[in-house]
Amino acid sequence: MSLYEKIVNKEEKVAVVGLGYVGMPIAVAFANKVNVIGFDLNTNKIEQYKNGIDPTNEVGDEVIRQTTVEFTSDSTKLQEAKFHIIAVPTPVNADKTPDLSPIESVSITIGKNLTRGSIVVYESTVYPGVTEDICIPILERESGLKCGVDFKVGYSPERINPGDKVHRLENIIKIVSGMDYESLEEIAKVYELVVEAGVHRAGSIKVAEAAKVVENSQRDINIAFMNELAIVFDRMAIDTQEVIEAMNTKWNALKFYPGLVGGHCIGVDPYYFIYEAERLGYHSQIILSGRQINDGMGSFVADVIIKKIIHANKVVKQSKVVILGITFKENCPDTRNSKVEDIIKRLNEYEIDPVIVDPYADPAEANLEYGVDLLPFDMINDADCVVFAVGHDYFKDLTIVQIDRMFRDLPNNEKVIIDVKSILNKTELQEKNYSYWRL
């Protein structure tokens, strides 16, 4: 009997290691079909899951309360599973080189608890070669087992889009790969249990690894192009959004928009590609240039804030700037690698300490990550400048009256509104003579 058949018959278990925005939805999905162990080192997170709380907001508290996932922070429980899915983050270091310590650490943990006949599937974003050249040797060393003989390895890049309620695990085609034909078919069949859209069998592990970094690098480059246009159009006094609206009337327009590119995918993955390319003697040109443009957008927005404050006849150091949003994207509580931080840092250089409001973010995480204290929206009533940095639905639904209440008693032309996400009604605000700017 194959491992797939044993899993379906609930004679063997699936283990999902790393229960964040990617791993937790995977664990919950599989638990609807088979027995699942959900492992994470973060004991506080595990306790929240056990208490029916979903800190990621990906599936909701009710689903967590009803799931049969066996949540644990005890690594020895992994010995009960034969199919391991690794979903830990792969960030970059301060110098933008890959930080492989999380995936190396989890490989050690898995290796110590690996049993014969197991399959280990990595979902973490890596550059081509990491799974076979770095992870497999660690698994062999820690387990004392031989890869290809005692256990098999595969790679299936995560494609979940945090905060997206439309494109979910079940309706996104899953790329799968294995070290050989047998492992590829086993991995494919296991994922087909939960992925209704089906799977794409990649020709090799390296192909699957490359596909992940390339698909996000492609998006990064396209957004960088729009960001560069926004910078130039700002100097030309042309509204970028109006240009995009006109351009998008053509059937083959790609419909990308300028913005802050953060998070743990698009803002990180290109650096993995760049690193491996340079290690092989090729200096990236297009991808690296795109990264440099996108990494500079926070400072660009901050400089615009300062210009608009000056144009409103304000004293820069005495101006109160309120930033709405600290998460890396809309309707998502994840604050990791948020480029709003770059706006804050740049404003600090002008001796402005902005106030941050974000009803979606966890105050403790925001403080730990960026050293900021989040304030409730209702406490804001004396702003000189309000920056809509993240397009949360909460902010989109604000009326002009609610927006106006955030400002101190000033003429409208001295109330500066910076709309990074272009979520407000430009015509309405300009008719009321607000000092309005959008990216």
Q: So which residues are the catalytic ones?
A: 265
- Rama region for 144: left / alpha / beta (φ>0; ψ in -120 to 50; rest): left
Q: How far is CA 56 from each of CA 60, 61, 74, 88, 332, rounded to the nearest angstrom? A: 8, 10, 21, 15, 8
**Is 243 in contact with 250 (CB distance < 8 Å)?**
no
Structure tokens, 417: 């509104």
Outline where DSSP puts E strands in 266-354.
321-324
Q: What one-character-per-residue DSSP string does 169-192 give? A: GGGSPEEEEESSHHHHHHHHHHHH
Say whether 85 sits in a helix, a strand or coil.
Answer: strand
How far from chain centre, in Å, is Cα 271? Answer: 15
Residue 388: count of CB within 10 angstroms of its CB:
24
Strand order in the sheet with 385-388: 355-357, 321-324, 385-388, 416-419, 435-438
Contact in structure between 124 and 205 (CB atoms under 8 Å): no
CA 254 to CA 240: how far, in whole Å?
Answer: 15
Tokens of 153: 């390895």
Rounded Cα gap, residues 155 and 423, in angstroms:
38
State the Cα–Cα distance between residues 46 and 19, nearest whole angstrom: 8
What's the CA gap between 153 and 176, in Å, rounded? 11
**15 DSSP assignment:** E
Structure tokens at 130: 């990491």
**CB within 8 A of 230, min separation 6: which ones?**
240, 258, 439
Alpha-carbon torsion (281, 98, 171, 161), positive or negative = negative
> 348-384: b or e for each residue (b if 16 or more CB lie within 10 Å)?
eeeebebbbbbebbbeebbeebbebebeebeebeebb
